[in-house]
Amino acid sequence: AAKRTRSGARLYEPRDDKSSAHHLSLTADLARAIRLDELTVQFQPKLDPTTGLVTGAEALARWRHPREGFISPDVFIPLAERSGLIRPLTLHVLKVALRQCAAWRRAGHDLHIAVNLSPNALHDSTLPDVVTRLLEQTGVPPASLTLEITESTLMADPTGGRKTLDRLRAIGVRLSIDDFGTGYSSLGRLRNLPINEVKIDKSFVQRLAEDHRDRAVVRSAIQLGHALDLDVVAEGVEDAATLEHLRREGCDLLQGYFISKPLAAADFAAWLVGRTSR
């Protein structure tokens, strides 16, 4: 089930391995990983293309398994969802991310932090209280925390998570629709959601320079977002031409490998020097 990447790191490939015993043992390992801080968080910067300054970062969970090597979040997040571990995992990431954000702010960098919420998180009625407590403990202002929720999550369950979303908004936390463009939001529904931001999916952004259809989709997403008074973020910016195009189209924030890959906290701090408004 393991394959070597170019860098030599082992990569766990779920489709190769249908053994449920293996999944069970991975689930047990994940529970331990969350407890023992084996699960870490990387930070990918978000850039304001009009100023060239970094305004914040997205927190992305990382799991380095002692035997299997790095396991992709596309594997362990669904595993956590199915096994009831998503709550402790989400709280762990939130805590680490908010502490890091507080540390940046103490160092004089006025940065915000974005954390991903998985589908089941909106069914956890304790989430708003937990978020409130963590904001108080770390001193991060609510408006400096953005929670990213995928469009497909919101569309699959139009009413279920609404109460949680409203309570999170009431705290002053920002809400973003992640992977925007892949989930068939109706315009009416979009207008009525308590959101602050849409984040255009990278599948539309990556080939922007070559594909005029992707350019058309991205242009309408930006116009629609702005017409609804939302901030528009693009992910998957992989080259200079795409960055320049999105800047000209009025996209508010950009994220992608061309700006930076997700970085461990120490590397992020070094990378930041000279790139914030400080």
Under the binding rule (CB under 6 A), the answer on residue 116 touching ligand C2E is: yes
Task: Give the shortest CB-62-to-Ca ion separation in angstroms.
Answer: 14
Please state, in angstroms and rounded to a whole number, the distance separating the CA atoms of residues 8 and 10: 6
Amino acid at 134: L
Residues 6+ positions from 269 with CB-CB distance below 8 Å: 104, 107
Q: For residue 252, what is the DSSP state?
A: S
Distance CA 219, CA 204 (A): 10
Considering the complex, what minimum distance in angstroms separates the CB of residue 76 from ligand C2E? Answer: 9
- Pick one of 29, 256, 265, 268: the residue that binds ligand C2E (CB under 6 A): 256
Q: What is the dihedral of CA 87, 93, 94, 97, to 10 degrees?
A: 180
Neighbours of 71 (CB within 10 A): 22
Contacts of residue 84, defined as CB under 8 A and 6 or more positions apart, other chains included, come to none
**Rounded Cα–Cα distance for residues 43 and 58 (Å):** 5
Q: What are phi and psi of 252, to 5 degrees?
A: -80, -40
238 binds, among Ca ion, ligand C2E, none (CB under 5 to 8 A by kind): ligand C2E
CB of 121 to ligand C2E, least distance (A): 7
User: What x/- string results for residues 34 through 53 when contact with ligand C2E is judged by CB under 6 A?
Assistant: ----------x---------
If you ran DSSP here, which 8-state letter would residue 97 be given? H
**Out of 47, 61, 147, 165, which residue is the one contacting ligand C2E (CB under 6 A)?**
61
Residue 240: CB minimum distance to ligand C2E, A: 13
Which of 105, 112, 202, 245: binder of ligand C2E (CB under 6 A)? 202
Min separation Cβ 162 and Ca ion, Å: 20
Would you say 257 or 271 has its CB closer to ligand C2E? 257
Near ligand C2E by CB under 6 A: residue from 262, 263, 265, 272: 262
Residues making contact with ligand C2E (CB under 6 A): 44, 60-61, 72-74, 77, 93, 116-118, 148, 178-179, 202, 235-238, 256-257, 262
